[in-house]
């Protein structure tokens, strides 16, 4: 019986993860050796949308390359050895800390050949970086093939690119048009495509130039092919020991609960919101500090702040917040999840958003805990630890968690960037795990604001960078009838259900609110994550969902 492309793709995803788990436990592997072949072949079978032309034997995928380089440490393309580590003391060393622009993690360039990358966000983060690195190695082999003949002799375009990179390194002037011409031959792309890509890489705050990246990716491949200077990925013993044991999630959660204890907030009603670290702050204190009387006025202020308007009110809002119950907790644990605490009893106004009054009794006034976005399985680790009772001096103090609200970014399967998705359940890709839920949100809560609103099951995927159209169409068109895909929903819900239904560490009738806004539509060419950030299109859905969360939990 012939398998469908969706079935082949799902099998490829499963093979990728089984292989990555095996290599992780083994401790090291050579990405272009026998051990790495399975990763390469599975990724090529899968052909994820985000990696575009990865299956083309000659053309380099340029948008996907930029997407990946903004999530990896600057200069990683120059390193033969990549070592994934836990937090092991390098933050106290003299090595410069490199932090990728779009995926915050500490990285250290140890020497010319070695890059150490700190992994403190769980298995999903490890799988994510291994997938990106596999993509880079596939592209590097194309670069080598385009730069040499059948006997392995380098061609003129490669020699000229080498001279360009040398001039660039020395700060010398060079003919950019000619350089783009050489590069277009090596990348297998048109001059126009190459010229545009060079401009995009030039605007990136994290990435080296496209000339340098292509040269160094190709050089490592040529060195391995001609001189047997193998590339290698390894995992430290401490990382392998710590993964899965909630080391960082426990540190993170205990700090939050200790601060709540210091401020005598543990016995108060608590609302937890997983979102960004600006929309709740600006919505509540924008209303209180500036006297904003409706959602439209709040959105206008948020737009001004987002575009950097010279007269924006961000500093005024922040100053008011600092005087009225706002506590900021930048991350110290390694999770890269910052936290904000809002003590509504310290607020000088009695409405949290327009028309929604706070209780008069200060002890009945709730505490809002806002946590920044988690990454994949990290959502379970952090939420599971946060919902546990606080233990202090032999006493066990449970948290009175009234509601848990999750606002996230997701890929939409029917609709456009900026539209909103309301999940009725979370289905965990690649397993039989599914989490039906009573979502306090309904489609009607978001209709009439000029945005598309969709509801239905949402797929919690193993990695957004591993999805292709065949898999996504299957989830959308089969009886699953999914409306979107994301990476954290099932993990959050697993923690909430175990805490409320099994462990009884929080109230059984905890309110649950999930809403996502579309960061991309992976079924539309040009609308994948590699096409660029959501930008201003994300402000309206972000603030609308925030406003509705606050409206729901306090009404």
Give per-residue pLDDT as tens, 93-152: 999 999 998 888 999 999 999 999 999 998 999 999 999 999 999 999 999 999 998 888
* Token duo for residue 13: 């995803």
CB-based contact 120:334 (threshold 8 Å): yes
Question: Does residue 431 carry a pLDDT above 80?
Answer: no
Residue showing tokens 């026998």: 34
Give the β-pairing of 401-412 and 511-520: parallel
C-alpha to C-alpha distance for 161 and 180, rounded to whole angstroms: 9
pLDDT of residue 409: 92
| Element of type H or E holding 340 | strand 339-343
CA pair distance 415, 490, nearest whole angstrom: 22
Q: What is the pLDDT of residues 41-51, one digit of tens each?
A: 999 999 998 89
Q: Could you tell me which residues come within 8 angstroms of residue 177 by beta carbon, excluding any fewer than 6 positions away?
A: none
Take residue 81 and report the two structure tokens written for it: 């050895």
Residue with the larger pLDDT of the pair 267 and 521: 267
- Indicate if the pLDDT at residue 433 is higher than 70: yes
| Model confidence pLDDT, tens digit, residues 451-486 | 999 999 999 998 877 788 888 888 899 888 999 999
Number of C-beta neighbours around residue 60 at 10 A? 29
Q: Which value, in Å, is the radius of gyration of the alpha carbons in the chain?
A: 25
Res 393: pLDDT:
84
pLDDT at residue number 532: 55
| Model confidence pLDDT, tens digit, residues 234-262 | 999 999 999 988 899 999 999 999 999 99
For residue 265, the model assigns a pLDDT of 97
Q: Report residue 533's pLDDT band, with 50, 70 and 90 as the boundaries.
A: low
pLDDT of res. 394: 86
Helix, strand, or coil here: 466?
A: helix
On the CB side of 15, how many CA atoms lie within 13 Å of its CA? 18
Asked if 18 and 25 touch (Cβ cutoff 8 Å), the reply is: no
Least confident of 332-341, 410-419, 510-519: 410-419
Tokens, residue 289: 């500090």
Cβ-contact 418, 538 below 8 angstroms: yes
pLDDT score for 220 = 97
What is the number of alpha carbons within 13 Å of residue 291 lying toward its C-beta?
A: 0
pLDDT on residue 519 = 87
The owner of tokens 């009110």 is: 313
pLDDT at residue 233, rounded to an integer: 98
Report the pLDDT value the prediction gives residue 528, as an integer from 0 to 100.
59
**Tens-digit pLDDT profile for residues 165-214:** 999 999 999 999 999 999 999 999 999 999 999 999 999 988 899 999 99
- pLDDT surpassing 90 at residue 390: yes
- Give me the mean pLDDT over the 495-501 stretch: 96
Per-residue pLDDT band for 351 (boundaries 50, 70, 90) equals very high
Closest CA to 397 of 256, 261, 250, 247: 261
Tens digits of residue pLDDT in 288-316: 999 999 999 999 999 999 888 888 999 99
Per-residue pLDDT, 325: 96
525: pLDDT strictly greater than 70:
no
pTM: 0.91
Average pLDDT estimate for 500-524: 92
Could you report the per-residue pLDDT of 393-414, keeping only the tens digit for each? 889 999 999 999 999 999 999 8
Half-sphere exposure of 7 (CA within 13 A, CB side): 4
d(CA 122, CA 375): 8
pLDDT above 70 (res 163): yes
**How many residues does the structure list for the chain?**
555
Which among 297, 550, 532, 352 has a CA at the least distance from the CA of 441?
Answer: 550
Closest-CA residue to 459 (of 484, 431, 422): 484
pLDDT at position 529, please? Answer: 59
Q: What percent of the chain has pLDDT over 70?
A: 98
User: Are the beta carbons of 69 and 133 closer than 8 angstroms?
Assistant: no
List, for residues 9-32, the tens digit of each pLDDT value: 888 888 998 999 999 999 999 999
Number of H helices, E strands in the chain: 17, 20
Question: Which residue from 110, 379, 82, 120 is spatially nearest to 239, judged by alpha carbons?
Answer: 120
> What is the rounded distance in angstroms from the CA atom of residue 417 to the CA atom of residue 534?
7
């Amino acid at each position: 019986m012939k398998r469908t492309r969706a079935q082949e793709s799902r099998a490829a995803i499963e093979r990728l993860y089984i292989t990555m788990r095996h290599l992780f436990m083994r401790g090291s592997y050579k990405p272009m050796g026998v051990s790495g072949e399975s990763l390469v072949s599975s990724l090529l079978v899968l052909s994820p949308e985000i990696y575009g032309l990865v299956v083309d034997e000659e053309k380099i995928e340029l948008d996907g390359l930029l997407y990946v380089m903004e999530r990896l440490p600057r200069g990683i393309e120059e390193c033969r050895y990549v070592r994934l580590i836990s937090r092991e003391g390098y933050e106290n060393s003299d090595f410069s800390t490199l932090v990728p622009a779009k995926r915050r993690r500490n990285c250290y360039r140890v020497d010319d050949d070695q890059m150490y990358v700190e992994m403190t966000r769980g298995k999903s983060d490890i799988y994510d970086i291994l997938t990106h690195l596999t993509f880079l190695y596939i592209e590097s082999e194309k670069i080598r093939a385009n730069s040499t003949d059948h006997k392995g002799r380098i061609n003129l375009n490669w020699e000229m690119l080498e001279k360009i990179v040398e001039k660039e390194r020395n700060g010398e002037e060079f003919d950019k048009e000619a350089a783009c011409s050489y590069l277009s031959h090596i990348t297998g792309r048109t001059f126009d495509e190459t010229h545009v890509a060079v401009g995009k890489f030039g605007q990136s705050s994290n990435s080296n130039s496209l000339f340098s990246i292509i040269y160094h990716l190709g050089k490592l491949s040529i060195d391995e092919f001609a001189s047997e200077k193998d590339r290698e990925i390894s995992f430290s013993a401490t990382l392998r020991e710590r993964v899965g044991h909630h080391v960082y999630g426990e540190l993170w959660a205990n700090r939050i609960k200790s601060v709540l204890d210091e401020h005598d907030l543990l016995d108060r009603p608590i609302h937890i919101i997983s979102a960004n670290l600006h929309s709740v702050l600006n919505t509540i204190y924008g209303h209180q500090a500036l006297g904003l009387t409706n959602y439209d006025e709040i959105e206008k202020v948020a737009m001004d702040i987002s575009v950097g308007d010279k007269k924006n009110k961000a500093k005024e809002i922040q100053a008011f917040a600092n005087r009225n119950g706002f506590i900021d907790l930048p991350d110290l644990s390694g999770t890269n999840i910052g936290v904000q605490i809002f003590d509504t009893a310290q607020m000088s106004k009695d409405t949290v958003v327009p028309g929604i009054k706070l209780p008069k009794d200060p002890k009945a006034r709730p505490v809002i805990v806002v946590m920044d976005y988690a990454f994949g399985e990290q959502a379970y680790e952090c939420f599971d630890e946060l919902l546990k009772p606080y233990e202090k001096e032999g006493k066990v103090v449970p948290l009175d968690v009234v509601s848990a609200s999750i606002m996230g970014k997701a890929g939409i399967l029917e609709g456009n960037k900026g539209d909103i998705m309301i999940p009725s359940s979370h289905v965990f890709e690649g397993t039989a795990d599914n989490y039906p839920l009573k979502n306090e949100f309904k489609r009607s809560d978001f209709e009439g604001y000029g945005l598309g609103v969709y509801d239905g099951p949402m797929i919690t995927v193993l990695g957004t960078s591993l999805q292709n159209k065949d898999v996504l169409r299957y989830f959308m068109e089969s009886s699953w009838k999914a409306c979107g895909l994301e990476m954290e929903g099932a993990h959050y819900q697993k923690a909430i259900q175990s805490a409320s239904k099994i462990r009884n560490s929080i109230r059984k009738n905890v309110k649950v609110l999930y809403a996502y806004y579309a960061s991309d539509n992976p079924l539309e060419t040009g609308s994948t994550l590699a096409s660029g950030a959501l930008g201003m299109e994300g402000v309206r859905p972000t603030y609308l969902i925030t406003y509705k969360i606050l409206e729901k939990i306090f009404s």
